[in-house]
Structure 1
Amino acid sequence: MKFRIFSFIIFTLLCFGQNVKAQQCENIIEDNLCNYYSQILGYQVKEVFNTKVFDLIDTWLNTPYKYAGKNENGIDCSGFVNVIIKAVYGNSFGCSSADMYNKLPHVSLKNLSPGDLVFFKTRGRRISHVGMYLGQDKFVHSSTSSGVIVSDLNQPYYKKRFAKGGKITLDESTTSVSK
């Protein structure tokens, strides 16, 4: 986090000190953020769709899994997703992955956008796991074996169990997650 703030200040000073156009400055800052998050998340981030989401991921990464957990001592998949949605969108919905699945419009894998939710059937035929899509087939979630991690939707385990995506849209009048 300190690295990101320090880098932001340096690049901002460089941009204004050299009279670089605003768009070029934004590109430099965006590239720096992508590089920073690429190092943290372990894959080449091409776009930071929401810095608040990425900051939260940075904070929660490697937090252990705990069923029904909702804090830094341990968190489960739905608790983790709700923490992000509450912090970023000011709302939360559903206590379980199945509740979330039932409240969002469904989208296919190819129609996912960064920030959408991804749902899995890890225990038979019902929805039992949720994560947040980051783009480039990557998603962040709290896994029972590793805690909060970034995984690839193309991994055989997740590919086989992927059910649908959940489209998050914002109602402009209330800034709440809506269906």
Structure 2
Amino acid sequence: MATGSVDLGDPGRLDRDVFTAGNFLDQGQLQQSFRVAVSAPHATLSGVLEKAETMIGVPSLWGGNAPAQGLDCSGFVRYVYEKAAGIPLPRLSAQIGRKGSAIAQSELHPGDLVFFNTPRGETTHAGIHVGEQRFIHAPKRGAFIRIESNRIESMKSAYWTCRYYGARRVVA
């Protein structure tokens, strides 16, 4: 889905057979309605990213569900989406990986979810896309939630590229 807004100020750009006077919302209502519909996912994803960034430095703990004790990758994703967007997600990465809409890697927006296969199996790791092939995640026990941003640890690295499974967009 595209993000941003569309200028509908020039009614000549609209299909006059469909948008005849009196058949639909007036131009102002149409413009406001369309802007809300297009920008709502972007606003949700922006809020998710902002919340995720506040979690940097929280201990990574396998099975963790709360920042005070530490979070694992799925606990991190669940916590952020619930607090930032009010969207409840399942507990496991594989379950979360079935929510929302699948999107191509080329269509990723900051706040989208990214999934990876690990030696434990398919869709066993999750993170939140930051942009420019970077993502925030709870990497492993003993580490801390962080952004994978350098060329060795970004999604472009050999390690993450061969493990990349897919991406999902989850919005209310």
**TM-score, structure 2 length as denominator?**
0.64
Q: Secondary structure at the match of 1:99?
A: helix
In the other structure, the counterpart of 2:56 is: 61
Q: Compare relative contact order (CA 8 Å, sep 6+) and give the higher one, 1 or 2.
A: 2
In the other structure, the counterpart of 2:69 is: 73
In the other structure, the counterpart of 2:147 is: 150
Q: Which runs of 5+ in 2 are unaligned?
A: 1-42, 149-153
Mark the CA change 1:105 to 1:63 in structure 2 (over 3 Å): closer, same or farther: same
Q: Secondary structure at the match of 2:60?
A: coil
Q: Secondary structure at the match of 1:110?
A: helix
In the other structure, the counterpart of 2:166 is: 164
Mark the CA change 1:61 to 1:126 in structure 2 (over 3 Å): closer, same or farther: same
Does the aligned pair in 1 maintain the 2:46–2:110 contact within 8 Å? no
Instruction: Percent identity, please.
Output: 25
| 1:1-179 → structure 2 map (5 Å cutoff) | 52-71=47-66, 72-123=68-119, 125-144=121-140, 146-151=143-148, 152-170=154-172
Q: Which runs of 5+ in 1 are unaligned?
A: 1-47, 171-179
In the other structure, the counterpart of 1:25 is: none
Does the aligned pair in 1 maintain the 2:136–2:145 contact within 8 Å? yes
Distance 2:100 2:48 in 1: 19
Distance 1:49 1:139 in 2: 17
Instruction: In structure 2, give the amino acid aligned to 1:90.
Output: G
Mark the CA change 1:116 to 1:51 in structure 2 (over 3 Å): closer, same or farther: closer
Instruction: In structure 2, give the amino acid aligned to 1:160.
Output: C
Q: CA RMSD of the aligned region, Å? A: 2.2
Greater fraction helix: 1
Does the aligned pair in 2 maintain the 1:49–1:114 contact within 8 Å? no
- Aligned residues between the structures: 123
